[in-house]
Amino acid sequence: MENETLIKQAVAGIRNSFSDDHIYITPSGEFAVLEFDANEREFFLPVDGLAGYRAWCEAEKQRVTTNPFCASCEYLGTCLSEHLRDVKSMDNSCNGFKGLLLRWEEECSSVIGND
């Protein structure tokens, strides 16, 4: 998908930023999810079959929806994050590109307002 389409879907609330719509298979044939280590580096975490995948996805949703930054965000669950990690501050926005989405909405409304 092109970037503009992804942004429009996020702003419209029709994009899914959670991991419950894709699963990875490791070279050894295990199901896995993409997780972050203590240094916020991505790695593939093997899960125990589909039940383990579903449980991990529920834990991800719980973690994100109770995060103080994400829980109050208007883009919760539809942001531009490819893989949600814990947002610890908004100093550099977030991994869901909230700043970009807000700018997009502002620019679109100013263009529409000038017609």
pLDDT at 92 > cutoff 80: no
Mean pLDDT score of the chain, rounded to an integer?
A: 90
Angle between helices 3-12 and 98-113 (to 10 degrees): 90
Tally of structural domains, the chain: 1
pLDDT at 114 > cutoff 80: no
Report yes or no: 89 and 24 within 8 Å, Cβ to Cβ. Answer: no
pLDDT at 97 > cutoff 90: no
- Confidence bin at 90 (pLDDT 50/70/90): confident
pLDDT at position 1: 60
Domain extent at residue 74: 3-113
Residues 57, 60: Cα–Cα separation, whole Å: 5
**What sections of 15-48 are H helices per DSSP?**
none
Q: Is 53 helix (H, G, I), strand (E, B) or coil?
A: helix
pLDDT at position 23: 96
Q: Considering Cα of 46, then 20, then 97, then 92, what sign does the dihedral take?
A: negative
